[in-house]
Amino acid sequence: MKSFWLAGAAALLFSSSAFAGDTIKIGFVSTFSGPTAVIGNDMRNSFELALDHLGRKMDGKPVEVIYEDDQQKPDVGKQKTEKLVQSDKVDFIVGYIWSNVLLASLKTAVDSQTFLISANAGPSQLAGELCSPYVFSTSWQNDQTPAAMGLYMNQKGVKSVFLIGPNYAAGKDMLAGVKSTFKGQVVGEEYTVWPSQLDFSAELSKARASGAESIFVFYPGAAGVQFLNQYAQAGLKEKMPLYTAFTVDELSLPLQKDNALGVPGAQEWVNDLPNEQNKRFVADYRKKYTGLRPTYYGAQAYDAAQLVNSAVVAVKGDTSKKDAMKAEMEKANFKSLRGAFKFGNNHIPIQSFYLQDVVKDADGQLSLKTVATIVENDQDRFHDKCPMK
C-alpha cells in the first residue's frame, strides 16, 4: 500500500513531463526471470526488432519502452501494470504471456483507459464478458488453437482422447477448446498443479490405463520438454499418438530434440509462412540474435509493435485521441507476420490456423514447418458474449 502512495506521489511529480508527449511511451510486461524467461526474452527481442524496422520512431517521435518482469506471477504482473499506468503514464501496455497474469492486470489498464495489447495470453473471459474498447490482441483466444487441433484430429479419424493440461486459466481454456471441436470420445481429463508440478508420471499412468487412443496436451515452456521426455520414456510414443497446442516451439525444440519428431501442433504463425514481411522478420531476427530462432511469441510481439505504430501514425502522434486510435487499430491496418487478418467485435483476430510438424531443416537442425491449413478465418466462440458490437 505504501508503495502505491509513493507511486502516486511520483506520478504527480513527473506527470508534467509525461504530458508533454514528445515521446511515445510503451510499457512491456512479460516474464524475464525464472525458467520461462526465455519466452520473455524472445518477445523482447522481436519487439526490439520491430522498433528497428520502424526506425525506432513512430510518426517521427522517438519510442521509449519500459520492460517490466512479471515473474510469471499474477500479483507481480498487476503491480507492474499499476506502476506503468500510474507512475510511468505509458500510452500503451504490451506483452503478457500468461492468461492468469493478464486477467489480474486487466482492470488496472482498462480503468485508466490505457490501451493494452496482449501479445500472447488470450483467456476466454477477455474475448467474452471482459472485452474492452481499450484491449486488443495480436495473438488469439486460448480456445482457438486447440480447437483447430481438435479439427485436425477429426480429419485423422481419432476416436478417443485423454486430455492433460495445467490447472490455470489458459489450461482450462485449452482443454475446453479441444472438446469444442473434437467429435470423438473424451475418455479422461487431468489438470496438474501449475507451474510447480514437473513430474507427470501419475497422469501418464492414468492416460495409459484409460485405454484412450491418443493424448492431447497443452504445456508451454519447459513443462513441454518435461512432458515429452516422460511421455517417450513411458513408451507411449508408439501406442498413444500425441496431439498438442503450444507445447513444441523454437525454444523448447532444442531441448526436446528427437522426442518432438512427428508430434503435430496447431499454430497461427509458423516461421516459414511465405509472406514478405515474415521472411524479412525471420531473416533479420536470426541475423541480429545469432544462434536464436524466433517463435510465435516473438511474432505476436512484433505484430503488437506494428499495431501500436499504426495507431500512432493515424493520430499524427497525438496519443490523447483515444477514439481515433481505437478506430484505427480495429482496422488491423498493418502488415502482420501471419498475413492479413481482421479483428472481431471483441478485438481478437479472426485468422487462419496451420498444422505444424517437426522436421530436420537444411542445416540438419530440428525446425517447425507448415504442413497444411487446418481452418481459415476462424473466430473465437466467445465473441457473442462481448457487449461491444
Rounded Cα distance between 371 and 217, Å, is 20
Q: By C-beta, is 92 or 194 nearer to another protein?
A: 194
**Is there a contact between 72 and 39 (Cβ–Cβ < 8 Å)?**
no
> Which of 105, 141, 256, 356: binder of another protein (CB under 8 A)?
256
**Looking at the chain, how many residues does it have?**
389
Across the chain, where does the E strand assignment appear? 24-30, 57-58, 61-69, 92-95, 115-118, 135-137, 160-166, 185-192, 214-217, 242-245, 265-267, 342-343, 349-360, 366-378
User: Beta-carbon neighbour count of residue 236 at 10 Å?
Assistant: 17
User: Beta-carbon neighbour count of residue 226 at 10 Å?
Assistant: 18
Give the count of residues interacting with another protein (CB under 8 A): 37
Is there binding between residue 48 and another protein (CB under 8 A)?
Answer: no
**Is there a contact between 260 and 228 (Cβ–Cβ < 8 Å)?**
yes
Is there binding between residue 233 and another protein (CB under 8 A)?
Answer: yes
CB of 27 to another protein, least distance (A): 23
User: What is the DSSP-derived secondary structure letter of residue 211?
Assistant: T
**Is there a contact between 256 and 224 (Cβ–Cβ < 8 Å)?**
yes
Q: By C-beta, is 134 or 231 nearer to another protein?
A: 231
CB of 251 to another protein, least distance (A): 7
Give the containing element (helix H, strand E) for 298.
Answer: helix 296-314
Contact flags string 112-151 toward another protein, x per CB under 8 A: ----------------------------------------
> Which of 97, 117, 225, 355: binder of another protein (CB under 8 A)?
225
Question: Which segment (1-9, 22-30, 32-40, 84-92) binds another protein by CB under 8 A?
Answer: 32-40
Contact flags string 172-211 toward another protein, x per CB under 8 A: x----------------xxxxx--xxxx-xxx-xx-xx--
Give the containing element (helix H, strand E) for 109.
Answer: helix 99-111
Q: By C-beta, is 260 or 301 nearer to another protein?
A: 260
Burial of 140 (0-12, 13-18, 19+ CB in 10 A): buried
Is there binding between residue 35 and another protein (CB under 8 A)?
Answer: yes
> Which of 54, 110, 234, 261: binder of another protein (CB under 8 A)?
234
Is there binding between residue 271 and another protein (CB under 8 A)?
Answer: no
CB of 305 to another protein, least distance (A): 23
Give the containing element (helix H, strand E) for 81.
Answer: helix 74-82
Question: Which segment (84-92, 221-229, 260-268, 357-365) binds another protein by CB under 8 A?
Answer: 221-229
Question: Which segment (99-107, 110-118, 227-235, 299-307) binds another protein by CB under 8 A?
Answer: 227-235
Cell representation of residue 193: 498443479
Site for another protein, rule CB under 8 A: 34-35, 37-38, 41, 167, 172, 189-193, 196-199, 201-203, 205-206, 208-209, 222, 225-226, 229-230, 232-235, 251, 254-257
